[in-house]
Chain A
């Protein structure tokens, strides 16, 4: 089917977003057409404002409104402990615990040659620069996927020669989970990384 030019443009733009296929792009576009003009203007403004006012923290690469993000600017955080995560949203999960007192480093991706992502496409160099300062421990908290594990492996290879301690988040059974419903991969890794009691 042929759409009017502005509609086709809108669909094409939406389709470029991650996780949006041609069908959802069309659905979103038609939804936008039916939305009151004021609401659409607010959406467009929010998009533009977010993009223009947000930048990456010069220390940890997290998205931030200021040159240094609130966590990096907080004098009570231990700057010698760096927790490395794949995406900004991973910080929120750990922050929710109110346990970790160190600082973060956001890679903005994981090694993934199939998607054309190598070390140069993520914030690896920026991490190595930070290690030139005083750092006691780097905690690798990338997702327990193949790409997350491989990225952790890669970082460990680079960091160990620098003489900084490198740890990886353990993955195992969810607390309170029942064995019968646990997925095999989780159970297997829990078995592999069991601890002595």
Chain B
């Protein structure tokens, strides 16, 4: 399959970007500027077009430039010239459009402009909570397999419904059938999620171990999927019902699963040094990139935000080399162009950002 790239990108009242046009190059695009000028915002706009979502933890109203009614990001996709656009307006549902035609949901954008992001927040994949690791699984799988996103969103909603029923059952009698139907939904979609997660992690694990070896610390990285419960999910749900009513939430299912990440035989989250954790994250993200490339048949757009301040020279240049050799479109932010290294600087298209405005160099 032919690779998809973005050509011209327009931002309109998106965060601090009033009216910005960025004419992206097909290779490496370097976005340079001091702190708080809009570098991350530029990448977030691309992330939005790719996934239909803002970066983690942001509410939609926050993405609209202060004192403006609405925001939009739009890009022309190459090679076919399709335009993708997302409109954000507080109080109105976020809307995604393709060639001017609205899609039923913003998530339906997924898969048209695949991307992999890497920022300092990703350190949480190794050092953070189980929820951070599930977040990686859910976002990456959703991007590659719309069926996964479907299972995931139904599962999430059914989980909220069962939890509401559990709390109701603390006060008054709830018949078994009322629980059973929600549990059937959870079991069906949850089992499908686990199969897809397991398969994806199996593929990821080998690649991550390889990438980690190439980073050359001489230690072995192992990644595996850890399910919180075994056996048929429908049975676990039914047999835990009493216990769950007592605690008011659902104790079994894929929303309790985790990734087991070990470096040199010890759990990296608890026992890894900062250096070990960073190397593990870089290896895992490179593996994610390779998996996505395999699934799409071309290298996805790579969004590297502010990775220079977090990584030492060796890891940084390794990451840049791999990103560069993948041959896809790359967006990199940094505060000083020199940080990118001579190799990148030679071929990159450079943009300077100041106060939400752009100068191409």
Contact A150 B108 (CB under 8 A): no
- The B interface is mostly helix, strand or loop, or mixed, namely helix
Interface flag for A184 (CB, 8 Å):
yes
Interface flag for A163 (CB, 8 Å):
no
Question: Given the known A-B contacts A154-B177, A154-B178, A158-B177, are A185 and B161 also in contact in the complex, defined by CB atoms under 8 Å?
Answer: no
On chain A, the residues within 8 Å of B149 by CB distance are 184
Chain A, Cβ-Cβ closest to B160? A114
Residues of chain A in range 152-197 having any CB-CB distance to chain B below 8 Å: 153-154, 157-158, 180-181, 183-188
Contact A157 B177 (CB under 8 A): yes
Contact of B101 among A112, A113, A118, A181 (CB under 8 A): A181
Number of A-B contacts (CB under 8 A): 68
Interface bin, chain B: 20 to 34
Interface flag for B146 (CB, 8 Å):
yes
Contact A119 B146 (CB under 8 A): no
Which of A150, A153, A154, A186 has most chain B Cβ within 10 Å? A150
Contact B178 A118 (CB under 8 A): yes
Question: Given the known A-B contacts A180-B98, A181-B103, are A153 and B161 also in contact in the complex, defined by CB atoms under 8 Å?
Answer: no
Chain B, Cβ-Cβ closest to A187? B146
On chain B, the residues within 8 Å of A112 by CB distance are 161
On chain A, the residues within 8 Å of B101 by CB distance are 181
Contact A157 B180 (CB under 8 A): yes
Q: Chain A's nearest CB lies how many Å from the CB of B202?
A: 23
On chain A, the residues within 8 Å of B168 by CB distance are 113, 116, 118
Contact of B174 among A118, A180, A184 (CB under 8 A): A118
Please, how many angstroms separate the alpha-carbon atoms of A153 and B178 in the complex? 10
Contact A183 B108 (CB under 8 A): yes
Which of A23, A146, A181, A183 has most chain B Cβ within 10 Å? A146
Q: Chain B's nearest CB lies how many Å from the CB of A86?
A: 15
Question: Given the known A-B contacts A118-B174, A119-B178, are A184 and B160 also in contact in the complex, defined by CB atoms under 8 Å?
Answer: no
Interface flag for B19 (CB, 8 Å):
no
Contact A184 B107 (CB under 8 A): yes
Chain A, Cβ-Cβ closest to B82? A180
Contact A113 B150 (CB under 8 A): no
Interface flag for B165 (CB, 8 Å):
yes
Q: Chain A's nearest CB lies how many Å from the CB of B166?
A: 9
Q: Chain A's nearest CB lies how many Å from the CB of B248?
A: 13
Contact of A150 among B107, B146, B181 (CB under 8 A): B181
Interface flag for A111 (CB, 8 Å):
yes
Q: Chain A's nearest CB lies how many Å from the CB of B322?
A: 31
Contact A114 B108 (CB under 8 A): no
Interface flag for A126 (CB, 8 Å):
no
Q: Chain A's nearest CB lies how many Å from the CB of B157?
A: 5
Question: Given the known A-B contacts A114-B161, A146-B157, A183-B103, are A188 and B146 also in contact in the complex, defined by CB atoms under 8 Å?
Answer: yes
Contact A113 B180 (CB under 8 A): no
Contact B98 A111 (CB under 8 A): no
Contact A111 B107 (CB under 8 A): no
Interface flag for A87 (CB, 8 Å):
no
Given A114-B164, A184-B110, 18 other A-B contacts at CB below 8 A? A111-B161, A113-B162, A113-B168, A114-B160, A118-B168, A119-B178, A146-B157, A146-B158, A153-B181, A154-B181, A158-B177, A180-B98, A181-B98, A181-B101, A184-B108, A185-B104, A186-B104, A188-B146
- Residue contacts A-B, CB under 8 angstroms, 10 given: A111-B161, A112-B161, A113-B182, A118-B165, A119-B175, A146-B154, A181-B101, A183-B103, A184-B108, A185-B104
The 3 A-B pairs of least Cβ separation, nearest first, read: A113-B164, A183-B104, A184-B146
